[in-house]
Amino acid sequence: MIHEFDPYFNYRTTLFLTEKGFYEFWNWFDSESWYPLGRIIGGTLYPGLMVTAALIYWALRFLRFFVHIREVCVLTAPFFASNTTLVAYFFGKEIWDTGAGLVAAVLIAICPGYISRSVAGSYDNEAVAIFALLLTFYLFVKAVNTGSLAWALGSAFGYFYMVSAWGGYVFIINLVPLYVLVLLITGRYSMRLYIAYNCMYILGMLLAMQIRFVGFQHVQSGEHMGAMGVFLLMQVFYFLDWVKYQLNDTKLFQTFLRITVTSAILVGGIALGVGTASGYISPWTGRFYSLLDPTYAKDHIPIIASVSEHQPTAWSSFMFDYHILLFLFPAGLYFCFKRLSDATIFIVMYGLTSLYFAGVMVRLILVATPAVCLISAIAVSATVKNLTSLLRTKQKVSQTGSTKGAGSSKASSKVTLDQSQPFQKNGASALLVGVFYLLSRYAIHCTWVTSEAYSSPSIVLAARGAHGNRILFDDYREAYYWLRQNTPTDAKIMSWWDYGYQITAMGNRTVIVDNNTWNNTHIATVGRAMSSNEDEAYEIMRSLDVNYVLVVFGGVTGYSSDDINKFLWMVRIGGGVFPVIKEPDYLVNGEFRVDKGASPKMLNCLMYKLCYYRFGELTTEYGKPPGYDRARGGEIGNKDIKLEHLEEAYTTSNWIVRIYRVKPPTNRL
Amino acid sequence: MKQSSVVVVDLLLLLLTIAVIATPAFSDLVLSKVERRIDVTSQFARVTKSLKVVNPGSESISEFMLTFPKFLGNNLAYLSVKTKRPLANLSVKKADPKGIPDSISVYSVALPKTLSKGDSLTLEVVATFTNVLQPFPEKITQGEIHLVMLQESAQYLSPYTVESQSLSIKLPNARIESYSKLENTKLQGSELKYGPYKNLPPFSYSPIVVHFESKAAFAVAEKLVREIEVSHWGNVQVTEHYNVVHRGAQLKGEFSRLDFQARPNPRGASAFRHLLARLPPRAHSIYYRDDIGNISTSEMQSDSKKTELLIEPRFPLFGGWKTFFTIGYGLPLSDFLFASEGKRFVNISFGSPMIDLVTEKLIVQVVLPEGSKDISVTTPFAVKQSREIKYSHLDIAGRPVVVLEKDNVVPDHNQHIQVYYKFSNINLLSEPLMLISGFFVLFITCIIYTRADFSISKSSPTYLAKLQWDEVLATLQEVQSIIQKCLAAHDKLEASLRDLSRTGDFQTCKAARKSTDSLLKDLSKELKPLLGFLQSSPSASHISPKVEELVVKEKELQEKLMAKHTTVVEGYEKKSSGRDIENRIASQQQKIIALRQEIEDLLEFIDEI
C-alpha cells in the first residue's frame, strides 16, 4: 500500500505512463486537478521516479514476470535503498577504506533517517533521489581521486538522474562547486580536479536541460550561478597555471596574477549584475532563501511554512533519526581532519552543509543521513581498527613468548613492551565491548523506530484501545472510496490542498487545489472560501463549480492534525492574497479558540460550520457535555449550526472526513 | 411514476388475458391441484409450485407448457422442473407457440414419459425472479423504512384448466403496508394466503399487489468476475471482483452519520453494512481489498464444513450507492481436481459464494495450467462460452482460459461445473527449469566476464600497467608464501628444541636441524628470481624496498635462530644445566621475538596491498 500524500500522485502518473506511453505522458495535460486551470503534468514534474518504475515494470514484463505496476511502485523505494547501501560501501571505501565502507553500508541500511523515506510504499521522489545523490557524489569523488574522464562522465549521468528525480539536485550543483572552491583555496588544485569538475559540470548541465521542468535554469537562475562562477574560476586557474609555466618569472607572474584575478572577478560581477538587472538571471527563489535563513519562510511565504515537514528540526528528532550517529559524527570529523585528503574534505563538507540544512528543515534530515552515516562509519571503523590492532599485537607477542614456556626472559620482554601503556589490552577490549554495545543499541533503536514510526502509512491511523488492542481508523480511505464510487465522475471536490493528491489518486475525482502548490492565488481562493461565511463561500464555490466539499475533522477521535488546527494557515494564505480576510478577526486576544469565547467570525465561517455540523448533538466522551471537541479539549461554541447551501453527503465512521454536497441554487420566485 | 406505469401494464395484461380466454384451450391437460408458495423474505422472489397434471383426453402428451406473465418472465433468473417419482430433472426450454399473446412467456417442459389417458404426474417447479420487488416509494430519506411491492396473480396463469389452486406468500416478518383483498384472502402472521380457488378456466388472471417492508439487503453485483486459477503445484486460486450496488429505494437528502450511529434508535435501516460469503472448507490465504488497498474490516470463521467470511465494505451501502471490492482465497487442489478416463477435470461451484446476492452479469474464468489441451466444459444450465489466453509469471505460450458468461445469476445457480482437460506432468517442470537456466546463464556470463579480457587496445599504457601490476601481485603472493614456509620451518626448529629440553635426545634435534637447513636453502633459492623481478619491475618500485626489508629480516631471524639452536644443542651435548643454557640464549631469544614481530608486521603490510 502506498503511503503519505505525494506518492499517490506519483503512482497516478506512473500508471498513466505505463498505460499511455512516454510521449503521451510528456504531453499530459491533467484536467483533474487545479480545476478550472488544469495542470501541465509533463512540464511540471520530475519524471525520474516514474520512468524508473515504468522501466522496471517493462523489464519485468519482458522477462515474463507479470507483476502489477502497483507492486513495482511499492517496492521501488526499498529496491533503491538497497542500491544506496551498495553505493555507500563503495563511497566509504573510496574515502577511507573497505572497513569504513562496510560499516557505512550497515549504518545506512538501518538508519531511521533514511528508512523513513525508503519503506515499501513510500513511492516518493526521495526514494530514488538519495540513491542518485550518493551515486553522483561517489562518482565525482572517484573522478577527483583518479582524474579519469570515465568517472566524471559517470558522475554527470548520475547528476542527470538526480535532476530528473528530485528538486534537491540544487544541493549537488551548489555543494560540488563549493567543494571545488575550498580545494582551490586550500591549494589543492590539480589536473584531476580540473577534469572531474569540468566534465561533470558541462555534461551534467547539458543533460539536465533535457528535463523540461528544469529547462534553462542552469544558465538562468541565481541558484545555479555559483557553479557557473566556479567553472569560470577553474578556467582562470588553468590559464594562470599555463602562464606560470610559460613565464618562469615569479615577479612578472605576481603582477599578471593580480591583473587577471581582478579583471576576472570584475567581468564576472558585471555579467551577474547585468544578468540580474535585465531579468535574464532570475534571483533566488523563496524556497532557497528559506533554506539559508530559517525565519524567512515564516515572514514571506506562509504556504511553505505551513507544511510540517518544512519546520526547523527539533533536537529530539535528530536523536530519533540518528541515535548514536549524532555522537559518532564529530568523532568521524576528527578522523577525517586527521587524514585530510580530497575525498575526506568532500565528505566533511557534505556532512557539515547537509547537517545545517537538516537543522533548518525536518525533511532534509534525509539528505544529511548518508553523510552522517559515512562519517560515523569512519569513526567506528577507525576506532575498531585501532583497538583490534592493539589487541592483535599483544596476542602475537604472548603467543611467541609462550612457546618458550615460562621464562624470565619472556616476562621481561613483555614488560618492556607494556611499559608505555599500562592495561592497554584490557582497556582496548573494554572499549571494543563498549563500541559493540553502542552499535547493538543503535540496531535495537532503529528496529524500534522503524516499527513504531515509519511502518504504518499515515493514511491509516492507529490507536491503542482500552485493552491494549490496536484500533485502526481507516476513515480517509473510506471517504475517498465513497467519493470514487458514489459521486458523478465529473464532480469537483474542494478541500484544503493537503488532500488534493489523495483525492485525485484514490477518489479519482477532480480537485480544486492539490499538493503541487504552484498557484498561490488558487489556494488562497480556497482558503478564502473556507474562512468566509456560508453565503460568501457559496458564491466562491459556485464560481469554481464545486460539487462537494471535503473537510477533515478530528474532534471525535482526538486526531490533532485536522482542518480546524490548520485553519489559521488557511486564513493566513487566504489573507495574503485577499486582504478582506484578516487573521485577527479569527482570534480572540491573539488566541485561537473554538469554544464559546471564539470570535463571531470564527463561529460562522464555513470551515467551522462544516466541521461542527450536528456535532453539538454528539457525546464524544463520557462525563463531558455533548459537543466536546476531543482534539482541542473544549466544548464547541456554536452547537446549533444550520447549513443553507450545503448538505451532509457522507461522514466517515469516526467522523474524521466529512463530505458535503453543494446544493444547486434554488429557483428564483 | 414507475408504479402507475406498472399498473397500466397490468391492466393491459388483464385485458389481453381476457381476450385470450376466448381462444381455444391449448391442450387437453388438466391441473388437478396447484400449490404455489412465493418466498419474498430476501431481495428476490423464489416461487415453488407443485403441479398435479392429469390427462383426461385420449391423446398421449409428452410436453407441458409453463407460462408466466411477461413482466415476470423477463425477470426469470432460474427455473427448474423436477418430478418426485421418479426423481428426475426435466429439461426446460423457452417456447414460442402460436396463439399465445406477447404478454405471456412460455416455457416447454419435456415430460419424462408420455402421459396417456388418465395418467397423472406431479411436477415440482422452482422459479426465481429478480427485480420483481419494486421499491415504493422509489426514493426515501435515511430515516424512512424500506417498502417494496410485489405484483402477482392470485390465480395461476396456465393454458390448462385448473381444478384447485392456492397461493401463499411468505413475507418477511415485518410491517405490511397493504395487500389486495380478494375472496378467500387470509393474512396469518407473516404469511398471506389466497385461495383455494376451484375450477378456473385456462388463462385465468387476477392481479394482486402486496406492499410491505423489506429489511433484506438488496445487494446486486452489477458485474462479478470470478477467476479460478488452477495450479498443479497444489492450489486453486479464486479471485472475485465485485461491483456491488444497493438496488433498493434510493437515498434522498442527507446522510447523517449522527443519526446512523445514534445509540437508542439508529436510523438507516435501509442500508446494509455486511455481506456474508460462504467459502468452501479449507479455504486459506483469504484477502479482501479494493483499488486503494486492503480493507481491514472482515471476519472469518471456519470449521470442517465451511469457511464463513463476513466482509464489511468501507462504507454502509444505502439505496443507489455502489462499491467495488475484490476477495481472493486459495483452495487445496485435491478437493477440486479429479481424473477420469485419461482426462482431468476441475469440479467447482459456478456462482458467487455470497449469500443472497444477485449477479446481473457473471463472468467465470477458469485458468488452466500452461500446456492444457482438449478442453471441454459441462454445465448444468446454459452459459455463454469463449476462450482466452492469459499470461502469468514465466509463461511463454500463455494459459488457456475458459470464459463462461451468464446474466442474472441467483444463488440457485450455485451448482458445480466441470472443466475437462488434458495435461501432462512434464509441463510442470518447464517453469522451474526455465528459472534455473536463466540463473545459470546469468552466472556463466558473470564468470566469463570476470575471466575474459575485454580491453580494446592491447598496447595502451594503462593496459600494460595493469598487466604488470597483476604480475607484481602474483609475485608478491609467491614471496609471501615462501616467507610463510620459512616461518613454518623456524617453528619446526623451535619445536625440536622443546623436544630436546624434554627428552635430551640431541641426535634427532640435529637431524631436524639438517633437514631445516636444506629446506631453507631451497626456499632462498626460489626467492631470488622473484626478488629480481620485483626490483626490475617499475610498477613495484614502492613495494620492493619493503619486500627486500622483509627478506633481510627473515635472513637475520634465520641466522639468530640457527645460532640459538647451535648454542642449545651444544649445551646439551656438554650436559650443562638448563638454567645455564637459558641464560646464554636469553639475549638471542629477545632479538628473535622482536624480529619475528617485525616480520609479521611486514607481512601484514604486504597483505594489505
Which residues, other chains included, contact A493 with Cβ-Cβ below 8 Å and sequence gap of 6+? A483, A487, A503, A507, A509, A510, A511, A512, A546, A547, A548, A549, A550
Taking the alpha carbons at both ends of chain A, their separation in whole angstroms is: 52
Q: How far is CA A363 from CA A116, A143, A354, B304, in A?
A: 10, 30, 11, 53
* A475 pLDDT higher than 60: yes
If pLDDT is split at 50, 70 and 90, which confidence band does A445 have?
very high
Residue in A with minimal Cα distance to B142: A649
Which among A660, A634, A398 is positioned nearest to A541, based on CA atoms? A660
Q: To 10 degrees, the CA torsion angle through A244, A250, A253, A254?
A: 130
User: What is the reported pLDDT for A410?
Assistant: 40
- Classify B32 as helix, strand or coil: strand
Q: For residues B422 and B404, give the distance between their C-alpha atoms in angstroms, rounded to a whole number.
A: 19
Q: According to the per-residue pLDDT averaged within each range, which of A262-271, A655-664, B187-196 is highest?
A: A655-664
Helix residue ranges per DSSP H, A487-646: 500-502, 520-531, 534-543, 563-577, 600-604, 606-612
Q: For residues B241 and A518, give the distance between their C-alpha atoms in angstroms, rounded to a whole number.
A: 39
| Interface test with chain A among B223, B229, B315, B318, by most A beta carbons within 10 Å | B315
Q: For residues B546 and B557, give the distance between their C-alpha atoms in angstroms, rounded to a whole number.
A: 16
User: What is the reported pLDDT for A394?
Assistant: 55
If pLDDT is split at 50, 70 and 90, which confidence band does A433 have?
very high
Q: Evaluate whether A347 touches A375 at the Cβ level (below 8 Å).
A: yes
User: What is the reported pLDDT for A371?
Assistant: 94
Q: Give the pLDDT mean for A334-362.
A: 91
Is the link from the previous residue into A664 a cis peptide, with omega within 30 of 0? no
* A463 pLDDT higher than 50: yes
Which residues on chain B are in Cβ contact (under 8 Å) with A655? 257
* A98 pLDDT higher than 80: yes
How many distinct helices (H) and strands (E) make up chain A? 29, 11
Helix axes A169-185, A225-247, angle to 10 degrees: 30
Residue in B with minimal Cα distance to A416: B590
Q: Name which residue leads in pLDDT, A469 or A642.
A: A642
Q: Give the pLDDT mean for A98-110.
A: 93
A417: its cell numbers: 613492551
Dihedral sign from CA coordinates of A525, A530, A536, A537: positive
Which among B254, B293, B257 is positioned nearest to A653, based on CA atoms? B257
Which among B293, B273, B296, B258 is positioned nearest to A471, based on CA atoms? B296
Strand order of the β-sheet with B416-422 is B337-340, B343-349, B416-422, B373-378
User: What is the reported pLDDT for A404?
Assistant: 41
For residue range B155-210, list pLDDT tens digits in order.
888 888 899 999 999 998 768 889 988 888 888 888 999 978 888 888 888 889 99
For residue range A529-578, list pLDDT tens digits in order.
999 989 999 999 999 999 999 999 988 888 888 899 889 889 988 888 89
With a CB-CB cutoff of 8 Å, which residues 77-96 of chain A face chain B? none
Tell me phi and psi for residue A668, to 5 degrees: -80, 140
If pLDDT is split at 50, 70 and 90, which confidence band does A119 have?
confident
User: What is the reported pLDDT for A415?
Assistant: 41
* A630 pLDDT higher than 70: yes
User: What is the reported pLDDT for B261?
Assistant: 83
Q: Which helix H or strand E contains B429, and what residues bound it?
A: helix B426-451
If pLDDT is split at 50, 70 and 90, which confidence band does A421 have?
low
Q: Which helix H or strand E contains A194, and what residues bound it?
A: helix A191-208
Q: For residues A503 and A508, give the distance between their C-alpha atoms in angstroms, rounded to a whole number.
A: 6
Is A648 close to B396, i.e. CB distance below 8 A? no
- Residue A62, Cβ density class (10 Å: 0-12 exposed, 13-18 middle, ≥19 buried): exposed
Integer Rg of chain A from CA? 30
Which among B143, B145, B117 is positioned nearest to B57, based on CA atoms? B117
For residue range B216-272, list pLDDT tens digits in order.
889 999 999 999 999 998 899 999 999 999 998 999 888 888 888 876 677 777 888
Is A481 close to B290, i.e. CB distance below 8 A? yes
Is A66 close to B257, i.e. CB distance below 8 A? no
User: What is the reported pLDDT for A520?
Assistant: 85
User: What is the reported pLDDT for B15?
Assistant: 47
| Interface test with chain A among B142, B222, B242, B291, by most A beta carbons within 10 Å | B291
Beta bridge partners of A658: A551, A651
Specify the pTM: 0.82
Range of lowest pLDDT (A4-13, A174-183, B226-235, B257-266): B257-266
Is A481 close to B253, i.e. CB distance below 8 A? no
If pLDDT is split at 50, 70 and 90, which confidence band does A409 have?
very low
ipTM for the whole complex: 0.81
Say yes or no: A397 contacts chain B, CB-CB below 8 A: yes
Question: Chain B: which residues have CB within 8 Å of chain A?
Answer: 253-258, 261, 290-297, 314-315, 320-324, 391-396, 494, 498, 582, 586, 589-590, 593-594, 596-597, 600
Q: Name which residue leads in pLDDT, A398 or B485.
A: B485
Is the link from the previous residue into B432 a cis peptide, with omega within 30 of 0? no
Dihedral sign from CA coordinates of A309, A311, A312, A314: negative
* A405 pLDDT higher than 60: no
The number of residues in chain A equals 669
Mean pLDDT of each 10-residue bin along chain B, 609 residues long: 46 49 60 92 91 85 87 90 84 82 87 83 91 90 89 88 91 85 86 88 88 90 94 92 92 88 75 89 90 84 86 90 94 91 90 91 94 91 91 87 93 92 88 92 94 78 82 86 86 82 77 84 84 78 80 84 82 75 79 83 77
- Complete DSSP assignment for B251-318: E-S---HHHHH-SSS---TT-B--EEEEEPTT-EEEEEEETTEE---EEEEE-SS-EEEEE--SSPBP
| Interface test with chain A among B241, B257, B296, B391, by most A beta carbons within 10 Å | B257
